[in-house]
Structure 1
């Protein structure tokens, strides 16, 4: 098990990282503006789920293999770039004439958050650089420790990104009269995230 003192030291460090603006936070911001707080919270849940998958793979040693393989790293990165650009294009194609069913919006928001997180190789590098600093092989199963630390990061990120999306949803309601403004703003955020990911280096 994780030493309680180590866990107490890990929690504020994880929260500080959760509060640092990044791709996940900006994605929830963009989705909150366009689809409202509910979609942002579901996207945040998808992001946290993706984060736990990354932590699980890191604990199993698989993430280290991907991080050390340039081709695998680049394939994941460019899939993420393509997906974000596709989301930007979808936002621009929105005419505001028809609304998707609520169930579809819920599923799409969660899936989008999950895919955005899983196709961001920077998360792989972050997990491999940050979490092992707190893992002690003498304290018990390494995988269990990874999952505990990952859960702390996931819960903190879920709350913080969801709150950002809620704020963005309030902003989106104010801009609702000019729906094209929302579409262009959302597309701009997703395109900027794609560009940021495209320029990401492994080192």
Structure 2
């Protein structure tokens, strides 16, 4: 079925290889997966699914950036790359600190955080310049340069977003079940809240340190 999406644009065998490679990359634990996991446990299934949708929209934004060449600008400009990295890392640290300080998480089933998980997830994904560079390096490997390159890149990015949404939505549904087990255990819930916050802070620091020393 997926091969019918672009029969004249992407060779079916190459498309199949791309889907396997993309699936392997998506299944690798990273900031996106951990963010959806923490929001699902903290605010429930709906928040987790909204976060998954936000991450997928971020993938589409990075695809668009790769198509129009914006990612190449970040690769060529150390200042632009550093600026976006600092903003992205700072945002993750902010989310982590807010999670730690939010005593309401995991304690009220019908009282989710007032912050928009969709909007936050979009920002978490977009403000990671390493994701932009990944798409710039990854997608062209599966493009037939004899065809219409921008269209092929768009299709590959859209497929990546669809697979991402499916995987992260599954993570959201599965991890939200853990949240229900914590309602009767406030102390354990508090520990999970701190752990979730520290994970986000750690991801922000890793993004910053990795960009500086790599």
TM-score normalised according to structure 1 size: 0.90
Q: Deviations over 1:52-73 (max 9, x none)?
A: 1111111111111112211111
**Structure 1 residue 52 corresponds to structure 2 residue 60:** yes
Deviations 1:87-134 (A, max 9, x none): 1121122122889976955xx110011000001111012111111101
Native 8 Å contact 1:30 1:185 kept in 2: no
Matches within 5 A, 1:106-185: 108-140=116-148, 142-176=149-183, 177-178=185-186, 179-185=189-195
- Residues 33, 86 of structure 1: alpha-carbon distance in 2 compared, 3 angstrom cutoff: same
After superposition, the CA RMSD in angstroms is 2.1
CA contact (8 A) 1:44 1:158 kept: yes
Contact preservation (8 Å) 1:77, 1:197: yes
Partner SS state of residue 99, structure 2:
helix
The residue that corresponds to 1:192 in the other structure is 202
- Listed one character per residue, the Cα deviations across residues 155-186 of structure 1 (whole Å, up to 9, x for unaligned) are 11111122122222112221233242232122
How far apart in 2 are the matches of 1:119 and 1:133? 24
Change (3 A) 1:110 1:162: same
Per the alignment, residue 3 of structure 2 pairs with: none
1:200 is paired with a residue of what secondary structure?
A: helix
TM-score with structure 2 setting the length: 0.86
Using the TM superposition, name which of 92-101 and 54-63 deviates more: 92-101
Q: Which residue of 2 aligns with 1:78?
A: 86
Partner of 2:146: helix, strand, or coil? helix
Q: What is the total number of aligned residue pairs between the two structures?
A: 200
SS in 2 for 1:41: helix
CA–CA distance in 2 between the matches of 1:124 and 1:69? 13
Alignment check: 8 A CA contact 1:76 1:119 kept = yes
Greater RCO, 1 or 2 (C-alpha within 8 Å, sep 6+): 1
